[in-house]
Structure formats: C-alpha cells, structure tokens
Structure 1
Amino acid sequence: MEDAALWGLDLSAEELEPDVGAVWQDNVPAVEAFLACQTQWRWVPRYGARDRATGLDYAGCDVALKMAGIKATQELWEQFQVIELAAKAALNEG
C-alpha cells in the first residue's frame, strides 16, 4: 500500500475486487480480452535456437474478441497492447 501511495494510487479496500485476485478492477477488461486472444501468437522458427514470439495475430484477435462478445475500444486496445508486450518479453526470455 505504501508503494502504491508513492505513485499516487489509492488502493483502499473499496477499490479492490476480492474475486479478481491480483488484477486491479480497471484492468480486468483488458486481461479478459488478452485471454480471449491467447492462442493467436505468431512465432518465428529459428534454426538452432528457440522459436521467437513476434506478437499476436491481430486479424485472429479481431475474430476472437468478436466471438467472445468483447468490443475493442481504443482504451481497451491500448491496455491490451501493454499486456501483449509484457507477455512477448516473457515468452522470449532466455
């Protein structure tokens, strides 16, 4: 809580959703959108090395989001891409 306060974040009990776990309520729609697209990764095979994730296939994500009933707004898409970049970095570690 003290760390959050240093960044100007108020994490009072009213703002935390106990059923969501470690995801802040404001981020839940973006996480749900990302999870709807989690099988849409593009990979580049590399001889003698691990395959490398290049990012999500946005055409596939468009279909996945529509099938999940998720409307992709500009704000949602920006949050979605933040998650994508972090996931891509994690997938390509090592």
Structure 2
Amino acid sequence: MKDQFADLGVEVAADETDTSETITIMQCNWPAFLVFLACATQWRVVTNTAGLIFLGLDYPGCQIVLQHHAAAPHVFGDLQAMEEAALEILNEAD
C-alpha cells in the first residue's frame, strides 16, 4: 500500500507495528469470529472530556450481519461474549 501512495506522490510513514504474531481460531468459533469482524462498524460510542466510551454493539445492526452470514442462533451469544471482552480492552484508561 505504501507503494500505491508513493505512485500518487504521497509519502506515508511506515508502521513499525510487529505483525508477525499469529493466532489460531478453532473451527467451531470461525463463524462467530467472522460475524464479530463484520460488526466492526456497529459499535455504539459516546464521547466526553475523557475521550471515547464504547457502550457496546448496536444489536439491530448486528442482527443484519447475523442474517447475512446465515449464522446459527448460538453465534449471537458468542458475539456477546466477544463484545464483553472487547469492551474491557476498548475502555481501558491510558
């Protein structure tokens, strides 16, 4: 992507983030993982003087994603478990 920006005459600083770490997702969790990723734009967020506060996922929006993926009913519970874990990380104070 850096080359594509260079072709446009734009210089982009390289991200020094180590991306070599990999994770393994069990096959039985794969549908829930895909739904969680697809719901990335469904977070309800408020802002105040301290910054952003993530409230949780917008369930009506997530329902559309679940239907689109033809997800089994238990995937919603898996999604809620991932949401709960993500909220702890997203709302950590610096």
TM-score, structure 1 normalization:
0.67
Q: Matches of 2:91 and 2:65 in 1, distance apart?
A: 23
CA-based RMSD of the aligned residues comes to 1.8
Alpha-carbon deviation of 1:23?
0.9
Q: Matches of 1:50 and 1:25 in 2, distance apart?
A: 37
**Which aligned runs of 4 or more in structure 1 are off by greater than 3 angstroms?**
none
Alpha-carbon deviation of 1:65?
3.3
Return 5+ residue gaps in structure 2 as ranges. 1-22
Q: Matches of 1:30 and 1:36 in 2, distance apart?
A: 10
Q: Matches of 1:28 and 1:72 in 2, distance apart?
A: 11
Report the counterpart of residue 93 of structure 1 in structure 2. 92
| SS across alignment from 2:44 | strand
Q: Matches of 2:87 and 2:43 in 1, distance apart?
A: 9
Return 5+ residue gaps in structure 1 as ranges. 1-20
Identity %: 41
Contact 1:37 1:65 in 2 (8 A): no
State which structure, 1 or 2, has the greater radius of gyration over its C-alpha atoms. Answer: 2
What count of residue pairs does the alignment treat as equivalent?
72
